[in-house]
Amino acid sequence: QAQLVESGGGLVQPGGSLRLSCTASGLTFSSHAMGWFRQAPGKQRQFVAAVVASGEVNTYSRAVLGRFTISRDNAKGTLYLQMNSLTPDDTAVYYCAARRVSDINGSLGPAAFDFWGQGTQVTVSS
């Protein structure tokens, strides 16, 4: 059974950086497109970024474009999210997710992803 475990969250000051990691097991990691989502209190889960199985193509939400970078190491079975220039609006629980397919074509809402981690809290505050 697929299992995704996020790590790297925490408290950071505005303008700071964090790198999230997501370690996968129980699936052939290199065959799956992967993504990051986030959910702030009282809000719906929101797409952040996604990357194809090979790692060669990615896409970002407008809210994070230019500040966040998604990457993956297929040899290690690990997905990353480098977050820079963080603001309080980035405060949320961040989730790692996997698709059954290798591409990131079409809609990339939560329903497009099949496996989910438990999430890691990111709080941006002074």
Q: What is the pLDDT of residues 7-52, one digit of tens each?
A: 999 999 999 999 999 999 999 999 999 999 999 999 999 999 999 9
Mean residue pLDDT across the chain: 97
Structure tokens at 58: 């990615």
What percent of the chain stands above pLDDT 70?
Answer: 100
Question: Which amino acid, one-letter code, is at 56?
Answer: E
Percent of the chain with pLDDT over 90: 98
Q: What is the mean pLDDT of residues 71-91?
A: 98
CA gap 102, 38 in Å, rounded: 21
Identify whether the C-beta of residue 9 lies closer than 8 Å to the C-beta of residue 122. Answer: yes
Would you state the pLDDT for residue 27? 95
Question: Residues with Cβ < 8 Å from 118, sequence gap 6 or more?
Answer: 5, 6, 95
Rounded to whole angstroms, how far apart are CA atoms 11 and 88? 11
Asked if 57 contacts 74 with a C-beta cutoff of 8 angstroms, the reply is: no
pLDDT at 113: 97
